[in-house]
Amino acid sequence: MQVSNTSSTQYSYHSNAANKAHTTQREFNVEESSAGSAKGIDVRGKTNLIYLLEKKDIVKLSKDEVSWLADIKESFMSVQETENYLKSNGQKKEMNAIIYVEGNVVSYQTQEGGVYYTDSKAEEIFRKAGFDAEKVKELVKEMYPDGAKVQFFEAGEGPSNAQLFEQIHGYSYSEFIRKQVDSLNQSEFDQQLRQEEYHRSKVLFDQSPQTEIFSVGGQVVASRGENGYIDVGQHLLAQADARGIERAELKEIFTVSPERTAAQYLVLLQDVFGDEVTLQSFSSGDAPTRAEVKLMQANNSSV
């Protein structure tokens, strides 16, 4: 066993095979993306469980909590900040001890006690010995009788994080940084595309004409689009609660059935709310959009 004295740093690196799949290509096929998202999930015949949601189940965040969430978002490093951090961290020298077997690093311990290992025996050495150099030497000799090398370092001495990274992983630290930055840039770009796609979908969703509007007691509670899907939610629940109607009576109203006609849906509402229900129908060109219907509901107004 060979023992020598010097010093170095910890760099925790987790290899991510998925990074290899990332590319910097900036192509996006809108047609294919739209087709893929259009397939979606078939919800016909399923019941929207929002009808079981009561006021006591809704938790509204305070201003402080909203601010706290915003602070968390701001705390994430940008790509440039991450690159600067990796470069700076690579220059540090933080090692307390490194164990080599056949020239390969099997474990190291930082000045702060952090331990990296590829061999459980090596991890056990630092776990048992801590910072006791003589105990480390004894255990290295005991656990690696065929020969091993342990180096100790004073604070600020020994290999840098970058140098140790290259010894362990067999390629340059600068190449590692480049791959990480490329991966982060690709992730940022992909996220931007997803946000843009969501925004486009939301605009189309909000602008879709609602050819039938259902009201209870003069308050808009639901609307129906040309595709037969009913937009119904909290406003109908509020009217039901105000009248002491049990939630179980609303299940069919919240069951998705685009094949159901407006007249059939009207009957469902009348079965629960009686003659307080009214229906107004519009041609496609004159129909209010979903966003306009939401505004009516927010203002507690009828069509």
pLDDT tier, 147 (very low <50, low <70, confident <90, very high otherwise): confident
Are residues 239 and 106 both part of a single domain?
A: no
Among residues 145, 99, 95, 152, which one has the least CA distance to residue 124? Answer: 99
Consecutive H or E run containing 98: strand 95-101
What's the mean pLDDT when you consider all of the chain? 81
Are residues 171 and 231 both part of a single domain?
A: no
Consecutive H or E run containing 47: none
Give the chain's domain count. Answer: 2
Domain region containing 156: 2-10+87-176
Task: Kindly state whether residue 148 falls inside one of the protein's structural domains.
Answer: yes
pLDDT tens per residue, range 201-256: 999 889 999 999 999 999 999 999 988 999 999 899 999 999 999 989 999 999 88
Task: Kindly state whether residue 221 falls inside one of the protein's structural domains.
Answer: yes
Are residues 279 and 140 both part of a single domain?
A: no
The predicted pLDDT at position 118 comes to 85
Task: Kindly state whether residue 184 falls inside one of the protein's structural domains.
Answer: no
Q: Which of 151, 176, 201 is the last residue of a domain?
A: 176
Task: Kindly state whether residue 111 falls inside one of the protein's structural domains.
Answer: yes
Residues 201 and 37 sit within 8 Å (Cβ to Cβ): yes
Residues 5 and 95 sit within 8 Å (Cβ to Cβ): no
pLDDT tens per residue, range 170-180: 999 999 999 99
Q: Give the range among 16-25, 119-128, 286-295 with minimum mean pLDDT.
A: 16-25
Q: Which of 127, 152, 176 is the last residue of a domain?
A: 176
Residues 97 and 166 sit within 8 Å (Cβ to Cβ): no
Q: Is the pLDDT of residue 16 over 90?
A: no
Q: Is the pLDDT of residue 281 over 60?
A: yes
pLDDT, average across residues 69-81 = 73
How far is Cα 151 from Cα 136, in angstroms, rounded to an integer? Answer: 10
Are residues 222 and 170 both part of a single domain?
A: no
Q: Is the pLDDT of residue 279 over 90?
A: yes
Are residues 101 and 247 both part of a single domain?
A: no
Task: Kindly state whether residue 125 falls inside one of the protein's structural domains.
Answer: yes
Task: Kindly state whether residue 43 falls inside one of the protein's structural domains.
Answer: no
Task: Kindly state whether residue 147 falls inside one of the protein's structural domains.
Answer: yes
The predicted pLDDT at position 37 comes to 40
Helical residues (DSSP H) of 53-172, grouped into ranges: 63-75, 79-91, 120-129, 133-143, 161-169
Provide the residue type at 155 as one letter. A
pLDDT tier, 54 (very low <50, low <70, confident <90, very high otherwise): confident
pLDDT, average across residues 107-132 = 88
Q: Is the pLDDT of residue 40 over 60?
A: no
Consecutive H or E run containing 97: strand 95-101
Are residues 6 and 136 both part of a single domain?
A: yes
